[in-house]
């Protein structure tokens, strides 16, 4: 079946539209150093995630077509591609919401394919959702506390009788969640219900909640959606800080090319379910297949009309 591209969000062309931000903070491909001389990422790190030959079909649509790549521990890897390329489908496979028709997924050297979805956070993989998955009637703080709770070890009997150990565990969860409220500058809305808050604020709440589970691999699905220019710049700083200070490997799905090119050590590009390119941000920005996928035409080619 021939798939046509959804065009509603107009992401095509963003490679060209953000040249300033896209070029800012690029990794020097010769020295491997990022902004300020910091060694960017850990290119010699072992693979924390290995995706092999991943294939997912929905009826006649091949959402992922034999996709393979690795993510080295400690890196920020951008996963980009036009609408419908298969990015969220790949996240859904990693969170075990979808079962691939073919291929393997290994986290820290072990297959995660037999793990049920609810076990994935406990294994060390957290994610955010493109369209949010918060509890609307809980406050911002409570939503983040849910994330902390996922890695706490309370048992049912102790919880039911609110034994002292449970009360101190609750205090710890609240304190840990509040620390994330301050990191994400959510103090002003911490006691407000999630329902009705702006989309950009809720994206930050989701990010905080995913981090609350102390993951070793964090999957971010369009964290910049709904953010203004200043907020995207702050998000870029935050993503790097989190990687550096919390020892988290990050797989970043994002249409904001300036953000992807600024923070990523490597970039993997999907188009119509296939991996079409992989490399440093500088390599990806000049890759003819990537430019063709986004703009419909590569440099030197004539557009068909």
Ligand X SMILES: Nc1ncnc2c1ncn2[C@@H]1O[C@H](COP(=O)(O)OP(=O)(O)OP(=O)(O)O)[C@@H](O)[C@H]1O
By CB under 6 A, name the one of 88, 126, 201, 285 that touches ligand X.
Answer: 88
Residue entry with tokens 């939503």: 143
Provide, rounded to whole angstroms, the least separation between the CB of residue 253 and Mg ion. Answer: 6
- Smallest separation (angstroms) from Mg ion to the CB of 119: 23
At its nearest, how many Å lie between ligand X and the CB of residue 10? 11
Binding mask 53-92 for Mg ion (x = CB under 5 A): ----------------------------------xx----
Residue 23 to residue 285: CA distance in whole angstroms = 9
Joined together, the tokens standing for residue 153 give 């070890």
Among ligand X, Mg ion, none, the one that 83 touches (CB under a kind-dependent 5 to 8 A) is ligand X
Site for Mg ion, residues 211 to 240, rule: CB under 5 A: none
Ranges within 168-207 binding ligand X (CB under 6 A): none
Q: Judged by CB under 6 A, which of 20, 58, 99, 116 binds ligand X? A: 58
Which distant-in-sequence residues (6+ apart) come within 8 Å of 19 by Cβ? none
Cβ atoms of 172 and 229 within 8 Å: the answer is: no
Report the partner that residue 89 touches, choosing among Mg ion, ligand X, none (CB closer than 5 to 8 A by kind). Answer: ligand X
Q: How does 125-154 read in b/e, with b if 16+ C-beta sit within 10 Å? A: bbbbbbebebeeeebbbbbbbbbbbbbeee
> Taken in order 119, 135, 181, 173, is the CA torsion positive or negative?
negative
Among 26, 47, 61, 197, binds ligand X (CB under 6 A): 61
Stretch that binds Mg ion, among 50-58, 123-131, 207-215, 266-274 (CB under 5 A): 123-131
Taking the least distance from each CB to ligand X, the nearer of 10 and 188 is: 10
In degrees and rounded to multiples of 5, residue 197 shows phi and psi of: -75, 155
| Candidate residues 55, 130, 139, 192; the one interacting with ligand X per rule CB under 6 A | 130
Q: Could you say which of Mg ion, ligand X, none residue 86 binds, taking C-beta under 5 to 8 angstroms by partner kind?
A: ligand X
- Does residue 130 bind Mg ion (CB under 5 A)? yes
Which residues of the chain form contacts with Mg ion (CB under 5 A)?
Answer: 87-88, 130
Which residues of the chain form contacts with ligand X (CB under 6 A)?
Answer: 3, 58, 61, 63, 81, 83-89, 130
């Amino acid at each position: 079946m021939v798939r046509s591209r959804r065009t509603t969000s107009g992401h095509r062309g963003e490679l060209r539209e953000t040249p300033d931000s896209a070029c800012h903070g690029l990794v020097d491909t010769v020295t491997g150093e990022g902004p300020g001389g910091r060694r960017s990422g850990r290119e010699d790190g072992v693979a924390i995630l290995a995706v092999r030959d991943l294939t997912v079909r929905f009826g006649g649509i091949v959402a992922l077509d034999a996709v393979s790549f690795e993510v080295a521990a400690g890196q920020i890897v951008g996963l980009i591609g036009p609408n419908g390329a298969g990015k969220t489908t790949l996240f859904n496979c990693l969170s075990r919401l979808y079962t691939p028709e073919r291929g393997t997924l290994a986290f820290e050297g072990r297959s995660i394919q037999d793990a049920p979805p609810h076990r994935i956070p406990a294994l060390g993989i957290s994610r955010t959702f493109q369209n949010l998955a918060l509890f609307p009637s809980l406050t911002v703080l409570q939503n983040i506390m849910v994330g902390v709770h996922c890695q706490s070890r309370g048992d049912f009997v102790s919880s039911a009788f609110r034994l002292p150990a449970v009360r101190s565990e609750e205090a710890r969860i609240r304190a840990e969640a509040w620390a994330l409220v301050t990191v994400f500058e959510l103090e002003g809305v911490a006691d407000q219900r999630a329902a009705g808050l702006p989309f950009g604020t809720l994206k930050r709440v989701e990010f905080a909640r995913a981090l609350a589970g102390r993951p070793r691999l964090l999957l971010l699905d369009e964290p910049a959606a709904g953010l203004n220019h200043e907020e995207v710049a702050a998000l870029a700083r935050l993503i790097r800080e989190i990687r550096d200070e919390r020892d988290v490997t990050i797989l970043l799905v994002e249409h904001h090319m300036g953000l992807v090119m600024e923070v990523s050590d490597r970039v993997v590009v999907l188009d119509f379910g296939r991996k079409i390119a992989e490399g440093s941000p500088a390599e990806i920005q000049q890759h003819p297949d990537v430019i063709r996928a986004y703009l419909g035409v590569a440099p030197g080619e004539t557009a068909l009309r």
